[in-house]
A = this chain, B = another copy of it.
């Protein structure tokens, strides 16, 4: 490759040097007082990230595992839940909820769209005995953003007893998210907003969300109750992933130093800069309401796979293609973390060259 590689896939995300160095720090025993004070301080950083004042906890595992565990921990077999389904990732939650024994009622939208607050409300009203709503704040396969704030506002006004769970994997630490102020009961995120390697997932809960958790057994490794209860004392119910937590602490330190509004603005500017460049190249943004985390776009009349390959081989720029229904039809570029304006410019220059413009 003629250049340093530039990783612009919307997962995995590039890891800053500060985080990489933190991952390599000497481990400390995870049952020590030093660990407990470290983990309690980390929970404060997480509360800042989520803009939440309630319980937070970390689990060793992928985002998928964390989200499946959240569905399993918050609901009970037989519970009826509305699952918004509008792309590869959100669609899975309906299957996952069904696997957990819930009666999952999908609210389907075409890929590239998300339902309006009114549509969510209407769907909720049609389901008797509804217990909760499972949402995906940013659908990473299509780039479409759900208006989570207004949706939660509408739901709370009409059905105050509903429990709300959102996958915020590509919004926490990326674009505006206020767990407390918006009244979200449970928010699940993984490493993307943390500019970290995969391995951890985090849950923030409202007090009402906390009360849904039920004690079971230490053998119940997917029960968030075990993690939340131990976290309150500064510990993990099992071996703590100390080094991964160091990486998380480093990223959260960077986010706190910049401030969430600064992070959100930078990400937004990166997205706008990239989208202007794509438009100038004749490209079209795919979703109706694009999220800031990534741009999903098509280049009419062009072979997306060939473009992606040429970007990587000739320019060292790694971007993603479409998934499932969008395979071969779109390209996906991250604006998260290190994917700043300069990175966008390098990607656009490379893209222009590949397209022969």
Interface residues of A (CB under 8 A from B): 5, 7, 9, 11-15, 20-21, 23-30, 60-65, 68-69, 92, 95-96, 98-100, 190, 197-200, 216-222, 238-244, 318, 320
Instruction: Assess whether B20 is in contact with A24, with CB atoms less than 8 Å apart.
Output: yes
State whether A221 and B24 are in contact (beta carbons under 8 Å apart), knowing that A29-B9, A199-B241 are contacts in the complex. Answer: no
Chain B residues with CB under 8 Å of A24's CB are 15, 20-21, 23-24
Chain B residues with CB under 8 Å of A69's CB are 221
Distance in Å: Cβ of A318 to nearest Cβ of chain B: 6
Q: Kindly report which residue of chain B lies nearest to residue A240, judged by CB atoms.
A: B198
Most buried by B among A99, A198, A216: A198
Instruction: Assess whether B318 is in contact with A217, with CB atoms less than 8 Å apart.
Output: no
Question: A197 contacts which of B12, B14, B20, B242 (Cβ < 8 Å)?
Answer: B242
Instruction: Assess whether A222 is in contact with B219, with CB atoms less than 8 Å apart.
Output: no
Task: Give me 24 A-to-B residue pairs in the complex whose CB atoms sit less than 8 angstroms apart, sorted by A's number.
Answer: A9-B29, A12-B242, A15-B27, A20-B23, A21-B24, A23-B24, A23-B197, A23-B243, A29-B318, A29-B320, A60-B60, A60-B62, A60-B65, A62-B241, A63-B239, A64-B238, A65-B221, A65-B238, A69-B221, A96-B217, A99-B219, A190-B239, A197-B243, A222-B222
Chain B residues with CB under 8 Å of A92's CB are 218-219
Most buried by B among A5, A7, A20: A20
Assembly of this chain: how many copies? 2
Instruction: Assess whether A60 is in contact with B199, with CB atoms less than 8 Å apart.
Output: yes
Distance in Å: Cβ of A15 to nearest Cβ of chain B: 6
Chain B residues with CB under 8 Å of A240's CB are 198
Determine the distance from Cα of A69 to Cα of B200 in the docked complex, in whole angstroms.
18
Chain B residues with CB under 8 Å of A318's CB are 29
Instruction: Assess whether B96 is in contact with A219, with CB atoms less than 8 Å apart.
Output: yes
Instruction: Assess whether B219 is in contact with A95, with CB atoms less than 8 Å apart.
Output: yes
Distance in Å: Cβ of A169 to nearest Cβ of chain B: 10
Determine the distance from Cα of A241 to Cα of B7 in the docked complex, in whole angstroms.
16
Question: A5 contacts which of B26, B197, B220, B238 (Cβ < 8 Å)?
Answer: B26
Instruction: Assess whether A239 is in contact with B14, with CB atoms less than 8 Å apart.
Output: no
State whether A14 and B29 are in contact (beta carbons under 8 Å apart), knowing that A219-B68, A219-B99, A241-B198 are contacts in the complex. Answer: no
Instruction: Assess whether A217 is in contact with B95, with CB atoms less than 8 Å apart.
Output: yes
Q: Which 5 A-B pairs have the closest CB atoms?
A: A197-B243, A99-B219, A20-B24, A96-B219, A62-B238
Question: A239 contacts which of B12, B60, B218 (Cβ < 8 Å)?
Answer: B12
Distance in Å: Cβ of A38 to nearest Cβ of chain B: 13
Chain B residues with CB under 8 Å of A190's CB are 239
Chain B residues with CB under 8 Å of A15's CB are 24, 26-27, 243
Instruction: Assess whether B60 is in contact with A219, with CB atoms less than 8 Å apart.
Output: no
Chain B residues with CB under 8 Å of A95's CB are 217-219
Distance in Å: Cβ of A13 to nearest Cβ of chain B: 8
Chain B residues with CB under 8 Å of A30's CB are 12, 198
Determine the distance from Cα of A64 to Cα of B236 in the docked complex, in whole angstroms.
12
Distance in Å: Cβ of A195 to nearest Cβ of chain B: 10
Chain B residues with CB under 8 Å of A7's CB are 26-27, 29
Question: A62 contacts which of B9, B28, B239 (Cβ < 8 Å)?
Answer: B239
Determine the distance from Cα of A342 to Cα of B179 in the docked complex, in whole angstroms.
52
Determine the distance from Cα of A21 to Cα of B243 in the docked complex, in whole angstroms.
12
Determine the distance from Cα of A99 to Cα of B223 in the docked complex, in whole angstroms.
12
Determine the distance from Cα of A287 to Cα of B96 in the docked complex, in whole angstroms.
46
